[in-house]
Amino acid sequence: MKKIAVFVMGPDRPGIIAAVSKTLFEYGCNLEDVSQTILQSSFVGIFIGTIPEILSEEAVLAALQADVEPMGLAVHLSLTQEPAGEPTVSESFVITTVGSDRPGLVAGVAEILAKSSVNITNLKAVFRGTKNPNHNVMIYEVDIPQSLDQHSFRTALYNRAHELGLDISLQHREIFEQIHRV
Amino acid sequence: MLTEREVIATLEMLRNENLDVRTVTLGVSLFDCASHDADRFILNVRAKITRAAANLVDVCDEVGLKYGIPVVNKRISISPIAVAACGFSAEEMCRIAVALDDIAGHLRIDFIGGFSALVEKGFTKGDCALIEAIPEALAKTDRICSSVNVASTQAGINMDAVALMGRTIRRTAELTADRDGIGCAKLVVFANIPQDVPFMAGAYLGVGEPDLVINVGVSGPGVVKKAIDRARTNHPDMNLGSLSEVIKRTAFKVTRVGELIGRAVADKLAIPFGVADLSLAPTPNAGDSVGEIFQSLGLKSIGNPGSTAILAMLNDAVKKGGIFASSYVGGLSGAFIPVSEDLNIAEATRNGSLTLDKLEAMTSVCSVGLDMVAIPGDTSAETISGIIADEMAIGVINSKATAARLIPVPGKKAGDKASFGGLLGEATIMNIRDDGGSAGFIALGGRIPAPVQSFKN
């Protein structure tokens, strides 16, 4: 068996998951993980599964394209591999920023994270500025390597937030889980 | 994935509502330090505490930084000195206190609690020596807290001890007269003292406790007040049933944070976690007050009729939320109403809304008692003993901890201001009836027998 990742993206509408999963099923694909996200009217879905060795991924991709391209969606398929080497030991934190919308906020914060090898595992940033334009919120869920010097990372992050006019906080994820989940 | 609501609500608690961990208290048993020689005993104690607590402050700060929640106080509770140092004279007990103060200073510990005696049923030689040493020990030290348990539901009230503590409090105040009698702010008389309190001045490590243990005291009156205010703004028709639910849920959240931090510190120090104490402990900072909660629940001021009912509801809701949040709950676990340590309560005593009589009534439903109450400096020892006896009776009959931390402020009278500095705050001296009318009762001595509700065997 070989492992494939299928990416489907385009305007959202009913029937996308049904079409993709039906085709994958017909090709003997065993799904392991599926996730989808909708932002405003745009859809992205990721399907990870295994297909028989004898089957060519080009054939699967062609079948998927025939299904979803008429729906206005793009599809991409690639072989995936298990990550090599020792995984980084890290801890989960949550970065929250509040402030006025302006171009470059995500780029500004993400640059500091990238420089410190901090991985963003989930990001929600919604800039609508309807009710209170000064109250746009970004929530980054991140994995911070245990080997990272927390103090200097925190300083760099807070300095950047200050430059961007953002009120920022960096909290351990466990705090949120302990408080809100039983 | 966390929801936006979860993240924002948590941040509000952390950033605007004074959510912190009020104290991480390391319990250290001193029973294996025993010696026939006081100097040897002090050496043993210094070695043991220094070894156990060498990293306490750094680990608390490190964990606080990691979680973004400050641990405000780092403290140590020790075996009651009257037991661990039984056999030494009052002068030697005093030397032990001074040595403990020095150890605390070196370790950057805020307070060491446990200069204590348990005398609810009678005195040992060690108890007598310790109580005799209290005034001088508290005058010569800054970081030592002392407690004496004079009553319990199982034993009744040791009225000889009550009389003795009246005199001891007076003497302690006199020896710290230049600082408004601050020695008495570090001395508390208890009924039913819990063995695992992390809060001062009552913290000590009970005889049934392990060799080393981490207990945490959570906090959060500001968080509770803001939660009530928010709920009432969003739902103006909310009644007390729903509001007690709001308090309960908030206490749950606060306790979870405290337990998380406490366990993280305990893990890092490789010391077992003991209990979370769920008390709502105020500080003399605006927005960190238990008194303000009474106003959020519709009273003009704490002390107005209705105050005892509110405190009963508050105390109960805090316990219910906290008990579910933590595997091991202990200590005092309820709402504190320390007069000088709470800006709002201090103001209510100043403007006459809260009298000593009302305060005493309220202590029958809260977790501590007459706490940080400044009284006129010339109050007689017998009157102080009478106030203590009443407070002890409330604890004994209700099978709960009660305490009296009374400060007769030397040279000052009712209405004057007393200032103790830092977390101890400042207070207006309360008016009390001191016409010598308690002296005859206090002079009788003996032990008031245990009440009928103690016979459960």
Q: Which of A90, A153, A171, A173 is most worth mutating to test chain B (most B CB atoms within 10 A of its CB)?
A: A171
Contact A178 B9 (CB under 8 A): no
| Ramachandran assignment for B234, one of left (phi > 0), alpha (psi -120 to 50 degrees), beta (any other) | alpha
Same fold for the pair B23-191 and B218-454: yes
Chain B residue closest in CA terms to A123: B1
Shortest distance between the Cα of A41 and any Cα of chain B, in A, equals: 20
Residue percentage of chain B with pLDDT more than 70: 99
Tell me which CATH code domain B218-454 carries. 3.20.70.20
Residue B314 CB neighbours (<10 A): 26
Contact A178 B68 (CB under 8 A): no
Contact A150 B65 (CB under 8 A): yes
| Ramachandran assignment for B351, one of left (phi > 0), alpha (psi -120 to 50 degrees), beta (any other) | alpha
Average pLDDT over residues B94-98: 97
Residues of B in contact with A175 (CB under 8 A): 10, 14, 67-69, 257, 260
Shortest distance between the Cα of B8 and any Cα of chain A, in A, equals: 8
pLDDT at A130 over 60: no
pLDDT at A129 over 60: no
Average pLDDT over residues B333-339: 87
Q: Where are the domains of chain B?
A: 23-191, 218-454
Residues of A in contact with B65 (CB under 8 A): 150-151
Residues of A in contact with B323 (CB under 8 A): none
Shortest distance between the Cα of A163 and any Cα of chain B, in A, equals: 21
Closest among B108, B214, B104, B175 to B96, alpha carbons compared:
B104
Q: Are B424 and B371 in contact (CB under 8 A)?
A: no
Residues of B in contact with A136 (CB under 8 A): none
Q: Where do we find the tokens 């809060």?
A: B199
pLDDT at B133 over 60: yes
Residues of A in contact with B13 (CB under 8 A): 179
For position A131, what pLDDT does the model report? 62
Q: Does ipTM come in above 0.90?
A: no
Report the residue from A122, A169, A174 with minimal CB separation from B11. Answer: A169
Closest among B277, B270, B278, B273 to B213, alpha carbons compared:
B273
* DSSP annotation string for A131-161: S-TT-EEEEEEEEEETTS-HHHHHHHHHHHH
* DSSP annotation string for B346-414: HHHHHTTSS-HHHHHHHTTTSSSEEEEEEEETT--HHHHHHHHHHHHHHHHHTTS-EEEEEEEETT--T
Shortest distance between the Cα of B277 and any Cα of chain A, in A, equals: 17
Q: List, in sequence order, every residue forming a beta bridge with B419; answer none if it has no partner.
A: B426
* Interface residue ranges in chain A relative to chain B, Cβ cutoff 8 Å: 94, 96, 122, 124, 137, 139, 141, 150-151, 169-180
For position A150, what pLDDT does the model report? 83
Q: Are A51 and A23 in contact (CB under 8 A)?
A: no
Q: Where do we find the tokens 């927390």?
A: A150
Bond from prior residue into B201 cis (ω within 30 degrees of 0)? yes
Q: How many CA atoms lie within 13 Å of B375's alpha carbon, on the beta-carbon side?
A: 28
Shortest distance between the Cα of A176 and any Cα of chain B, in A, equals: 6
Interval B255-313: pLDDT, tens? 998 899 999 999 999 999 999 988 888 888 878 899 999 999 999 999 999 999 999 99
Report the residue from A141, A170, A179 with minimal CB separation from B253. Answer: A179
Closest among B430, B403, B432, B400 to B417, alpha carbons compared:
B430
For position A182, what pLDDT does the model report? 77
Interval B349-399: pLDDT, tens? 999 999 999 999 999 998 789 999 999 999 999 999 999 999 999 999 999
Q: Where do we find the tokens 């993980």?
A: A33
Contact A139 B11 (CB under 8 A): no
- The rounded mean pLDDT for chain B is 93
For position A45, what pLDDT does the model report? 95
Interval B164-211: pLDDT, tens? 999 999 999 999 999 999 999 999 999 999 999 999 999 999 999 999
Interval A7-64: pLDDT, tens? 999 999 999 999 999 999 999 999 999 999 998 899 999 999 999 988 888 999 999 9
Instruction: Take residue B60 and report the two structure tokens written for it.
Output: 């608390």
3-state helix, strand, coil in chain B (%, to 5): 50, 20, 35
pLDDT at A87 over 80: no
For position B213, what pLDDT does the model report? 96
Q: Are B368 and B338 in contact (CB under 8 A)?
A: yes
pLDDT at B36 over 90: yes
Residues of A in contact with B9 (CB under 8 A): 179-180
Shortest distance between the Cα of B288 and any Cα of chain A, in A, equals: 20
Measured CA to CA in angstroms, residue B77 lies from B64, B144, B196, B322, B390 at distances of: 21, 10, 9, 23, 28
Residue B53 CB neighbours (<10 A): 25
Task: pLDDT band for A132, please (50, 70, 90 cuts).
Answer: low
Residue B216 CB neighbours (<10 A): 29
Burial A104-131 (b: 16+ CB within 10 A, else e): ebbebbbebbeebebeeeeebeeeeeee
Q: Where do we find the tokens 């510990």?
A: B109
Cα distance between residue B354 and residue B305, in whole Å: 10
pLDDT at B4 over 90: no
Cα distance between residue B287 and residue B156, in whole Å: 39
Contact A171 B260 (CB under 8 A): no
Domains of chain A from N-terminus onward: 2-79 (3.30.70.260), 90-180 (3.30.70.260)
- DSSP state, A12? -
Cα distance between residue B233 and residue B295, in whole Å: 14
For position B241, what pLDDT does the model report? 96
Q: List, in sequence order, every residue forming a beta bridge with A145; answer none if it has no partner.
A: A90
Closest among B100, B89, B83 to B42, alpha carbons compared:
B100
Average pLDDT over residues B322-327: 89
Q: How many CA atoms lie within 13 Å of B234's alpha carbon, on the beta-carbon side?
A: 9
Residues of B in contact with A96 (CB under 8 A): 7-8, 11
The amino acid at residue B377 is G
Domain B23-191 annotated CATH 3.20.70.20: yes
Average pLDDT over residues B221-239: 92
Cα distance between residue B43 and residue B26, in whole Å: 19
Interval B272-288: pLDDT, tens? 999 998 888 888 887 88
Chain B residue closest in CA terms to A142: B1
pLDDT at B14 over 80: no
Instruction: Take residue B260 and report the two structure tokens written for it.
Output: 């998380």
pLDDT at B253 over 80: yes
Contact A175 B68 (CB under 8 A): yes
Interval A55-76: pLDDT, tens? 888 999 999 999 889 999 999 9
